[in-house]
Amino acid sequence: MTNAPFELVDSHCHLDFPDFEGERDAIITRARAAGVTRMVTICTKLHQEPAVRAIAESYEGVYYAAGTHPMSAAKEPLVTVDKLVSLAKHPKFVAIGETGLDYHYTADSAEIQKVSLRLHIEAAQQTQLPLIIHARSADDDMEAILSEGMKIAPYPCVMHCFSSGPRLAQAALEMGFYLSMSGIATFPKSTEVRDIFAAAPLNRILVETDSPYLAPMPHRGKRNEPAYTAFTAKHGAALYGITEAEFAAVTTANFDRLFTKAARAAKAA
């Protein structure tokens, strides 16, 4: 399946986006050749869920999640907990989201974003599938709502493509959450992001592409794809002072610990 000396998981990508149209077979083949044997493709608008599900059903090692992206919260119908719980019955549906808060571009919809986020949290509490969080320029509200949810009932969670501040990182880690490293951590000016990851426990780190966005160095500015997980992992290994094989093994084990449904499916395959 892979020509690489170790295996990685791309914990967050968007294989349904138009950027990949007509190329998915080749993209997944390249990913596997680079050692990325599993990936989670994320649905950001629930009306697109059937198409994302179909992609996951078409490829071994591809799983999916669904939710309403915070930047779309004001434009899409409000998600229901029952809908998310129903979707979670699919064998390849492995997480809730992505959801969260984005005040960088869409601060005007902050209130509906909060409502949507709380509904996703409730679905994660009911299903015990990991919640996938997008957080941008909303650290205080993000911490408050995530903490509020944990006081009601525990739930697993990953802070996807983490690029927020150290306080939110620490709060997330204290709640038992995971931080996911994207190509941002490879950018020359991302010193604070690297410092946050370096201070975090290695057993709470995932790796992702968020492709087609945020291609890591040396591909920055180009279309990202799951194969490029390997470049971010190389930087991650250097950050922690371990080999690439060790970083791959630890982050894969972390993924399996958080995404338990995907781990079970992989073992059964």
Read off the pLDDT of residues 144-179 as tens digits, 9 standing for 90 and up: 999 999 999 999 999 999 999 999 999 999 999 999
List 62's β-bridge partners, or say none: 39
For residue 211, the 8-state DSSP code is B
Q: Where are the domains of the chain?
A: 8-268
CATH of domain 8-268: 3.20.20.140
Q: What is the pLDDT of residues 106-126, one digit of tens each?
A: 999 999 999 999 999 999 999
pLDDT higher than threshold 90 for residue 257: yes
Give the model's confidence band at 2: pLDDT under 50 very low, under 70 low, under 90 confident, else very high: low
Q: What is the pLDDT of residues 134-143, one digit of tens each?
A: 999 999 999 9
For residue 23, the 8-state DSSP code is -
Residue among 65, 39, 61, 38 nearest 52 (CA)? 65
Give the model's confidence band at 269: pLDDT under 50 very low, under 70 low, under 90 confident, else very high: confident
What pLDDT, on the 0 to 100 scale, is given for residue 5?
A: 82
What pLDDT, on the 0 to 100 scale, is given for residue 268?
A: 85
Q: What is the mean pLDDT of the chain?
A: 97
Give the model's confidence band at 267: pLDDT under 50 very low, under 70 low, under 90 confident, else very high: confident
Cα distances from 144 to residues 86, 140, 164, in angstroms, run 28, 6, 14
- Say which residue the tokens 């996703």 belong to: 120
Give the model's confidence band at 50: pLDDT under 50 very low, under 70 low, under 90 confident, else very high: very high
What pLDDT, on the 0 to 100 scale, is given for residue 3?
A: 65
CB 189 within 8 A of CB 239: no
What pLDDT, on the 0 to 100 scale, is given for residue 178?
A: 98
Q: Write the CB contacts of 248 (distance below 8 Å, at least 6 apart in sequence).
A: 6, 7, 8, 35, 233, 237
Helix (H, G, I), strand (E, B) or coil at 223: coil
Q: Write the CB contacts of 91 (distance below 8 Å, at least 6 apart in sequence).
A: 265
pLDDT higher than threshold 70 for residue 81: yes
Give the separation between CA 69 and CA 65, rounded to whole angstroms.
12
For residue 173, the 8-state DSSP code is H
pTM (global) more than 0.75: yes
Output the CA torsion sign for 45, 103, 179, 162.
positive
Helix (H, G, I), strand (E, B) or coil at 6: coil
| Tokens coding 214 | 């945020």
Helix (H, G, I), strand (E, B) or coil at 190: coil
pLDDT higher than threshold 60 for residue 1: no
Q: What is the pLDDT of residues 190-211, one digit of tens each?
A: 999 999 999 999 999 999 999 9
Q: Write the CB contacts of 180 (distance below 8 Å, at least 6 apart in sequence).
A: 11, 12, 158, 159, 160, 161, 162, 205, 206, 207, 208
CB atoms within 10 A of CB 159: 26
Q: What is the pLDDT of residues 222-256, one digit of tens each?
A: 999 999 999 999 999 999 999 999 999 999 999 99
